[in-house]
């Protein structure tokens, strides 16, 4: 028999866990972790230059400097698996009023591509810090989701067995998932800061955090709150169980 307090805590923890997982999944799959605001371009020469950048961005080889410069100058947005630019539907001498979002995904080999101390210059030496921050920022959220899935499977088995014993382990898994998500956001912010130190933003170009990053940031405390409820329920149930056992023995 489960005490009403424990049942309530478990239900709330499940709701928090589901919300956190949905938020994190949406954040991983969307493109708005960081976004740039670029000035409007005027003049045939400037439009031609931007069109060349856009074509290289869409069809050229993967190069950090190339796609970074394009993001800076074409109101780009970048996520964990996507990089996008906003371009006119038709390239004319003047910017067309109708704009569209064009995106390219980061392939798995591209995610493991080394970062260099001078982006685009392979002779400058690998920047180990930026390289591993980049790899952590896309691996850690997958680890977080994996931990939550494992916790869900463990909870399902616990329900079938009508046992609260695994609740402690499920709480620990949620705590680790929350820490992984928080580490993802920290790695992403640190990586972007280091990128902007080696690739200076052009004049009148501003960068800002996107809503996808905030979703990931919100999911971290939700997982931790779910973990706290689960750990409390496990500890309290264990204490009551031992008290009842001691009472019966006495």
- Specify the fold of 1-242: Butyryl-CoA Dehydrogenase, subunit A; domain 3 (1.20.140)
CA atoms within 13 A on the CB side of 136: 19
Rounded distance between C-alpha atoms, residue 137 and residue 121, angstroms: 23
CA R_g for the chain = 24
Report pLDDT for 91. 65
Rounded mean pLDDT, 82-108: 77
**Consecutive H or E run containing 219:** helix 211-249
Confidence of residue 44 (pLDDT cuts 50, 70, 90): low
Angle between helices 4-29 and 211-249 (to 10 degrees): 160
Report pLDDT for 67. 86
Instruction: Output 134 or 61, whichever has higher pLDDT.
Output: 134
136-168 pLDDT, tens digit per residue, is 998 999 999 999 999 999 888 877 777 667 888
Q: Is 50 exceeded by the pLDDT of residue 249?
A: no
Domain ranges of the chain: 1-242
Q: What is the pTM of this model?
A: 0.85
Residues in CB range of 109: below 8 A, 6 or more apart = none
């Amino acid at each position: 028999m489960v005490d009403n307090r424990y049942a309530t805590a478990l239900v709330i923890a499940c709701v928090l866990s589901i919300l956190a997982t949905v938020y994190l999944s949406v954040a991983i799959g969307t493109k708005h972790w960081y976004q740039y605001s670029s000035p409007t371009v005027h003049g045939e020469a400037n439009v031609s230059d931007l069109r060349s950048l856009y074509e290289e961005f869409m069809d050229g080889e993967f190069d950090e400097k190339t796609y970074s410069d394009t993001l800076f100058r074409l109101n780009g947005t970048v996520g964990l698996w996507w990089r996008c630019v906003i371009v006119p539907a038709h390239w004319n001498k003047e910017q067309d009023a109708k704009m569209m979002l064009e995106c390219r995904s980061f392939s798995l080999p591209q995610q493991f591509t080394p970062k260099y101390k001078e982006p685009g210059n392979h002779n400058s030496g690998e920047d180990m810090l930026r390289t591993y921050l980049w790899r952590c920022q896309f691996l850690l959220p997958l680890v977080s989701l994996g931990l939550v899935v494992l916790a869900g499977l463990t909870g399902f088995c616990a329900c079938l067995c009508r046992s609260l014993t695994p609740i402690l382990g499920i709480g620990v898994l949620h705590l680790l998932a929350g820490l992984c998500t928080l580490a993802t956001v920290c790695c992403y912010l640190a990586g972007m800061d280091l990128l902007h130190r080696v690739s200076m933003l052009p004049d009148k170009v501003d960068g800002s955090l996107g809503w996808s990053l905030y979703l990931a940031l919100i999911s971290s405390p939700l997982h931790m709150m779910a973990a706290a409820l689960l750990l409390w329920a496990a500890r309290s149930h264990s204490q009551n169980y031992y008290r009842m056992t001691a009472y019966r023995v006495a």
